[in-house]
Every structure is written in structure tokens, then in C-alpha cells.
């Protein structure tokens, strides 16, 4: 990954909102989004590039021949067709780079008149469209790549041996339910489920009712752009050629339901009721200035097996992102109190497994990934309470101790989420000499359970 003129921090756009330092989508970003007209039933979904407070509709530009000089024009035609069918994005890194570079030239101050006029004709206010999930996401896999998360959760149940023997040898993951992936802003219904007998009455039998320990999970997802055929695998050195970019993910978790059902087969109803994703895919090319070395494994840790080892991935397989979670209760909203930040960290650079290793491992047995598939990192956590990416960790005060609830500005306390709570996740990348770019927002509000 190299930087070029599209990353120039001095670039300004003729879209005024993009020049606001607080805006997530300056001309140096240009993320992808799947949108439809806000009036329901009006038009088919289409791919867009977001800049400032505007969306550039790629389908219109493709139809108008704006990208006729692309290295793979047929690939861009397929991108437009698949979006209308709710699939995709089928987008090679070469084409993604071409689209971003050409739009950068057209959207900057001083752009050639013909380029600017063409883009203006395909531009709509972001408020006039509805943002969908950024890709079909017909396949979804959630991983467990944060060693700090795995160690903290493991210590709750296995104080003397927090990490299971396989953790440092294999990227641990499970297949999630893609049908319940929802775009940011979609309310999330508190799930019903079967829960274990009370600790003080183990013979009482399980009960069924609303989840009492509803949690969020702060994650980063990568979206697949190119498929691999069934029966083939992707080498770690080329795995990221099949990734379009990154998004934010909240993989909601019903902890009490999970406690009862997860053995022996792992997550099921405690996880498949909802997964919220942010609206945009920030491309790998936009993130080029913010790549960093992969997590340096401590002395004595096993080296990755050869199919997971690559020197270039070790040098720059990480991403220097800042991630944040805030909670706004219904009472806070009524009183006009701003969301309260409960987690902020740069722990994503310390993921034990990189996305290249995750993609390589996922396909190592011949599993076929498809355009639009979502692979999520698992909860991103640091070592300290203020950097832990879920309430299960953030309110844990050590073995044998009661949970230490988070106190909100309203005076309310939270060990787990209450009905009416809004969870707002944000992410961004910044580095001296480059423009800050953002991943947007991943938001969901808890609705009461039915029944």
C-alpha cells in the first residue's frame, strides 16, 4: 500500500462540507455506500461514493461513460448490475483504485470543467437517500482476533488459563446469520431466549424470557470484493487483493442466553438476532497512510504456520484506527444530554490476527468467499477498562467481585443495556501530515422485547 496525490492533506473539494475538519468524508476518503432514494419504492438501490454531505451515484456515471477508460469496464458494469440485484460489490482493487482516483480529480478545487460537470449531474444530498448495508452480506463470519478481549473474557471463566490452547495457532471464528445484518440507525429488538437456572438454585431448570444481559460488541469488518472459487484458497500474501475495505460492526450479544447455550457448539440465538453495520466501506486505498505493523507477538508465542505467515503482512498488516463507543439512554435523550463515551481506544492495531490472515484461513479449506461477504474482527478491546469494547468486559472488576456498573451523566447506571439505550460507535484514522478520515457511525437503539 502506497500513498499518492489522492492522500494530499492540502486537497480541498468544491463540496464545502468535505472541507470541515470534523467531517468523516473529506476528498481524501471517498468511501463506498449502497443507497436508495429515501421515498420508499422509488428506484433501485445503487452504489455511491460519499463526500462531505453529498453522494455521487456511481450507476449514473457508469451509464454516462464516465468510467469508460477503466482498466476493467466490464467489472464496473457488473458492479452496477449487482447492486440493483442486491448483491456485490464485485470490485477489484484495481477498479476501486481507479474510481477513487478519477473522482478525486473531479471533486477537487480546480477540477477540469468537464469532469466537475459530469459529477455534479450524478450528485444528490446525502439526506435524500436511504443508506443500506454496504454490500449484500449474504455471508457473515465473526472472529475472535483481539487477544486482550480473549484474555479478559477467558479470565472471567478460567482465571488460571484464560486463553485456550488453540488461540495463538488458529484464527478462531464462527459463521453468523447474515439475514439479521441491519444498517446503522435500525432499532434492535431485545431478544427472547432460554436462560440457565439461577446460580443459587441449579436444579430449578432453565427459564424463557427477555434477555437480561444485553450487550454491544465493538468490531471492525472487512468487506469482500472478489470471490474465490469453491475448492480454492487464497494465500495470505494476496488475501487483501480480495478485500474492498473496512466498516464498523456492532455484533449485539445476549450474554445470559449465550451462557446457557454456547456449549458445546458455540454462539447461536444469543448472537443471530441482530448485527448492525455502518453505512460506508472505507477503501483500503483511502486507508493506505494509516497502515501499521501487525501486532508483535510476545517472545515465546508460537510463530504462525506457514500458510498464515507473510513478511509484508507483518510489516504493514495492521490499521491505526481510533474506535469509540457511546451510550445515550432514553432519559438522557429527553433531557438533551449528549451520548456518553464509555470506550475509546487504538487497540485495533493490536489484533492478534490480521485481516489478511483471517481471509487466508477462511479459504484455506477451499471455502468460497463471495462479493459482499462480511468478515468481522470480533470485539476490539485494549487492556484497560476504558478501552474494552463491550460491557461484559468494561464492568468486570476482577474474579469473585460484583460488576462495577458504568455511571451515565443522568445518574443512571449500566451493567448491561436497558430498553431505550442508543449505542453509537464511531471510528477514524489520523496521522501527522495526512487528513483525518472517518468510518462514519454505527448506531442502534434497543427496543423492548415482544411477548
Is 149 among the residues known to form the active site?
yes
Please give the Cα distance from 102 to 238 (Å, whole number).
Answer: 25
Please give the Cα distance from 356 to 304 (Å, whole number).
Answer: 13
- Looking at the structure, tell me whether residues 61 and 170 fall in a common domain: no
Task: Write down which residue in 131, 160, 191 finishes a domain.
Answer: 131
- Looking at the structure, tell me whether residues 174 and 118 fall in a common domain: no
In contact, 149 and 103? CB cutoff 8 Å: no
From 7, 148, 149, 242, active-site residue: 149
- Looking at the structure, tell me whether residues 294 and 419 fall in a common domain: yes
Please give the Cα distance from 202 to 222 (Å, whole number).
Answer: 42
| 22-65: pLDDT as tens digits | 999 999 999 999 998 876 555 678 889 999 999 999 989 988 88
Question: How does pLDDT run along the chain (451 residues), one tens digit per residue?
Answer: 689 999 999 999 999 999 999 999 999 999 999 998 876 555 678 889 999 999 999 989 988 889 888 877 767 777 767 655 556 677 778 888 989 999 999 999 999 999 999 999 999 999 999 999 988 788 999 999 999 999 999 988 888 888 989 999 999 999 999 999 999 999 999 999 999 998 888 788 899 999 999 999 999 999 999 999 999 999 999 999 999 999 999 999 999 999 999 988 889 999 999 999 999 999 999 999 999 999 999 999 999 999 999 999 999 999 999 999 999 999 999 999 999 999 999 999 999 999 999 999 999 999 999 989 999 999 999 988 899 999 999 999 888 888 999 999 999 999 999 999 999 999 999 999 999 999 999 999 999 999 7
- Looking at the structure, tell me whether residues 342 and 266 fall in a common domain: yes
pLDDT on residue 42: 59
Residue 312 three-state SS: helix
Q: Specify the number of domains making up the chain.
A: 2
| Domain carrying residue 264 | 140-447
- Looking at the structure, tell me whether residues 43 and 175 fall in a common domain: no
What beta strand segments (E) does 136-272 contain? 140-143, 173-175, 181-183, 188-189, 192-195, 207-210, 214-215, 218-224, 243-250, 253-254
Task: Write down which residue in 111, 131, 151 finishes a domain.
Answer: 131
What share of the chain in percent tops pLDDT 90?
79
Amino acid at each position: 500500500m502506497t500513498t499518492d496525490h489522492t492522500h494530499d492533506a492540502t486537497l480541498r473539494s468544491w463540496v464545502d462540507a468535505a472541507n470541515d475538519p470534523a467531517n468523516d468524508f473529506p476528498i481524501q476518503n471517498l468511501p463506498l455506500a449502497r443507497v436508495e432514494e429515501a421515498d420508499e419504492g422509488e428506484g433501485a438501490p445503487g452504489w455511491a461514493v460519499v463526500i462531505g454531505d453529498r453522494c455521487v451515484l456511481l450507476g449514473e456515471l457508469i451509464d454516462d461513460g464516465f468510467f469508460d477508460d477503466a482498466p476493467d469496464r466490464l467489472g464496473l458494469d457488473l458492479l452496477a448490475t449487482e447492486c440493483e440485484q442486491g448483491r456485490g460489490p464485485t470490485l477489484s482493487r484495481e477498479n476501486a483504485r481507479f474510481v477513487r482516483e478519477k473522482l478525486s480529480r473531479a471533486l477537487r478545487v480546480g477540477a477540469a470543467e468537464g469532469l466537475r460537470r459530469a459529477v455534479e449531474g450524478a450528485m444528490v444530498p446525502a439526506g435524500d437517500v436511504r443508506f443500506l448495508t454496504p454490500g449484500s452480506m449474504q455471508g457473515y463470519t465473526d472472529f475472535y482476533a483481539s487477544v486482550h478481549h480473549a484474555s479478559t473474557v477467558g479470565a472471567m471463566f478460567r482465571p488460571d488459563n484464560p486463553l485456550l490452547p488453540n488461540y495463538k495457532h488458529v484464527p478462531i471464528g464462527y459463521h453468523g446469520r447474515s439475514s439479521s445484518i441491519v444498517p446503522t440507525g435500525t432499532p434492535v429488538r431485545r431478544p427472547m431466549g432460554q436462560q440457565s437456572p439461577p446460580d443459587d438454585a441449579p436444579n430449578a431448570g432453565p427459564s424463557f424470557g427477555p434477555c437480561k444481559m444485553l450487550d454491544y460488541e465493538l468490531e471492525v469488518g472487512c468487506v469482500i470484493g472478489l470471490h474465490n472459487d469453491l475448492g480454492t484458497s487464497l494465500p495470505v500474501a494476496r488475501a487483501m487483493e480480495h478485500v474492498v475495505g473496512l466498516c464498523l460492526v456492532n455484533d449485539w450479544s445476549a450474554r445470559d442466553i449465550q451462557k446457557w447455550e454456547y456449549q458445546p457448539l458455540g454462539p447461536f440465538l444469543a448472537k443471530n438476532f441482530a448485527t448492525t453495520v455502518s453505512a460506508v466501506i472505507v477503501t483500503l486505498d483511502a486507508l493506505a497512510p494509516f497502515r501499521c505493523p501487525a501486532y508483535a507477538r510476545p517472545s515465546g508465542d508460537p510463530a504462525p504456520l506457514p500458510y498464515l505467515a507473510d513478511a509484508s503482512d507483518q510489516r504493514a498488516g495492521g490499521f491505526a484506527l481510533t474506535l469509540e463507543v457511546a451510550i445515550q439512554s432514553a432519559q438522557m435523550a429527553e433531557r438533551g444530554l449528549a451520548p456518553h463515551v464509555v470506550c475509546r481506544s487504538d487497540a485495533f492495531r493490536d489484533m492478534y490476527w490480521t485481516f489478511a490472515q483471517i481471509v487466508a484461513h477462511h479459504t484455506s479449506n477451499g471455502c468460497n468467499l463471495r462479493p459482499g461477504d462480511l468478515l468481522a474482527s470480533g470485539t476490539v478491546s485494549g487492556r484497560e477498562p476504558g478501552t474494552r469494547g463491550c460491557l461484559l468486559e468494561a464492568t468486570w472488576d476482577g474474579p469473585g467481585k460484583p460488576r462495577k456498573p458504568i455511571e451515565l451523566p443522568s445518574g443512571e447506571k449500566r451493567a448491561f443495556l436497558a430498553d431505550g439505550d442508543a449505542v453509537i460507535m464511531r471510528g477514524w484514522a489520523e496521522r501527522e501530515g495526512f487528513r483525518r478520515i472517518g468510518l462514519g457511525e454505527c448506531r442502534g437503539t434497543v427496543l423492548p422485547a415482544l411477548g
